[in-house]
């Protein structure tokens, strides 16, 4: 399941420091000559691919990045301090474009790859540089050049980490609206979702995952009924399946029978997919009286003979969704670290 995640950011490299105009002043040396030092170079900005990042969600909050400018030159031929380079981490697989020219600046495929997107300004020259046989006391210096400024478009082709599975109107679209910035259509009739929707769920800095809202399945989906087998294919690359079950169906249906029907379609389509890690999410608990929630949910779990993770949520009110997303994030990080152990110096 390939989607495109995009972000627009602005990068500003540091300016070069100004050169100094200074003359040597020491006792008994009345004509010491110029000793103004050069300024420091401005810091450049680099984008670097890192493991552990899955989306561009962090760039929704921070859209501007600025490197440090170089320091001014000083007397006694002292050079100004150079500005620190700024390294911005991005997910592996990020394409970097100049927004104004549409030039491809870099394709960061593998972790550790780096591209310079803004060159720091060159240092200014102190008056020592202008000394000559005909100008022994130069009073001119040069300012540092300005750092490069760019607007960038970051593009990341992503695979959904988590797929939502369930009957039409199980509340999948409502849940993805509650936990991400995605805004799929929500209504009280079947097949509201006609195409997979993608949501980026952020649970903290550099901690996010991709959730896909798959169109609802009905009995016979594996044989092409309803929206058909093409949407079951979308689930094949997800790492975790969330099986959403409406605990209070509007048509008076049986949640246990409905959940078994979906599990049967999965098994019929692909035994491998049916064996994928799957969590049971009992949705719409806000429709149940508080005193009946636990017994009702326990009866569903017992009827399904479910021995995996179980969560009780309300996509409409948001109840229980934060805990669910945190548990998903921790599980995905555990799975990723098993395949790609963190390198020294990287965040875990």
Residue 318 shares a structural domain with residue 172: yes
What is the domain count for the chain? 2
Residue 145 shares a structural domain with residue 164: no
Domain that holds residue 152: 2-157
Angle, helix 255-269 to helix 290-304, in steps of 10 degrees: 40
> Which pLDDT score is estimated for 268?
77
Average confidence score pLDDT of the chain = 81
Per the CB < 8 A criterion, the answer to whether 152 and 11 are in contact is: yes
Residue 223 shares a structural domain with residue 168: yes
Q: 194 — alpha (psi -120 to 50), left (phi > 0) or beta?
A: alpha
On whether residue 149 sits in a domain, the answer given is yes
Angle, helix 172-179 to helix 321-339, in steps of 10 degrees: 80
Which pLDDT tens digit goes with each residue over 154-209?
988 666 788 888 877 778 888 888 887 655 444 343 433 345 677 788 888 778 88
- What DSSP line would sit under 256-284, residue for residue? HHHHHHHHHHHHHH-HHHHTS-EEEEEE-
Beta bridge partners, 158, equal 3
pLDDT band for position 144 (cuts 50, 70, 90): very high
Residue 32 shares a structural domain with residue 74: yes
Residue 179 shares a structural domain with residue 238: yes
pTM as predicted: 0.57
For residue 218, pLDDT over 70 is answered with no
Using CA of residue 182, residue 185, residue 189, residue 192, what is the dihedral sign?
negative
Residue 183 shares a structural domain with residue 288: yes
Residue 172 shares a structural domain with residue 267: yes
Residue 342's Cα: distance from chain center in Å? 18
The residue ranking higher by pLDDT, 109 or 82, is 82
Residue 207 main-chain phi, psi, to 5 deg: -135, 100
**pLDDT exceeding 90 applies to what percent of the chain?**
39
Q: What is the CA radius of gyration of the chain?
A: 29
> Which pLDDT score is estimated for 259?
87
Residue 197 shares a structural domain with residue 333: yes
What's 263's domain CATH number? 3.40.50.300
On whether residue 346 sits in a domain, the answer given is no
Residue 185 shares a structural domain with residue 285: yes
For residue 96, pLDDT over 90 is answered with yes
Which pLDDT tens digit goes with each residue over 266-286?
777 677 777 889 999 999 999
Residue 183 shares a structural domain with residue 145: no
The residue ranking higher by pLDDT, 169 or 7, is 7
């Amino acid at each position: 399941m390939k989607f495109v995640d995009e972000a627009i950011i602005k990068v500003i490299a540091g300016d070069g420091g100004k050169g100094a105009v200074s003359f040597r002043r020491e006792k008994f040396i009345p004509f010491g000559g110029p000793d103004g030092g050069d300024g420091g170079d401005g810091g450049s900005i680099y984008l670097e691919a890192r493991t552990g990042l899955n989306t561009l969600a962090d760039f929704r909050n921070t859209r501007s990045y600025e490197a440090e400018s170089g320091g001014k030159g000083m007397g006694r031929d002292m050079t100004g301090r150079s500005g620190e380079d700024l390294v911005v981490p991005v997910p592996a697989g990020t394409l970097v474009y100049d927004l104004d020219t549409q030039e491809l600046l870099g394709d960061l495929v593998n972790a550790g790859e780096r591209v310079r997107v803004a060159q720091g300004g060159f240092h200014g020259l102190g008056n020592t540089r202008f000394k000559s046989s005909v100008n022994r006391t130069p009073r001119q210096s040069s300012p540092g050049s300005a750092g490069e400024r760019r607007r960038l478009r970051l593009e990341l082709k992503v695979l959904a980490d988590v797929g939502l599975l369930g009957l039409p109107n199980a509340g999948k679209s409502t849940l993805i609206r509650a936990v991400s910035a995605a805004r799929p259509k929500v209504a009280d009739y079947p097949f509201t979702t006609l195409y997979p929707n993608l949501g980026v769920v952020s649970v903290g800095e550099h901690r996010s995952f991709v959730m896909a809202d798959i169109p609802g399945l009905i009995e016979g989906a594996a044989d092409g009924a309803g929206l058909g087998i093409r949407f079951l294919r979308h689930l094949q690359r997800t790492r975790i399946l969330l099986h959403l079950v409406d605990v209070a169906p509007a048509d008076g249906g049986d949640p246990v029978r409905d959940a078994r029907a979906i599990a049967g379609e999965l098994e019929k389509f692909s035994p491998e997919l049916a064996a994928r890690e799957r969590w049971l999410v009992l949705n719409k608990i806000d429709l149940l009286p508080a005193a009946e929630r636990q017994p009702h949910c326990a009866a569903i779990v017992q009827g399904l003979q479910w021995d995996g993770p179980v969560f009780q949520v309300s996509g409409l009110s948001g109840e229980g969704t934060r805990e669910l997303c945190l548990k998903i994030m921790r599980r995905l990080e555990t799975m990723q670290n098993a395949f790609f152990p963190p390198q020294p110096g990287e965040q875990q």
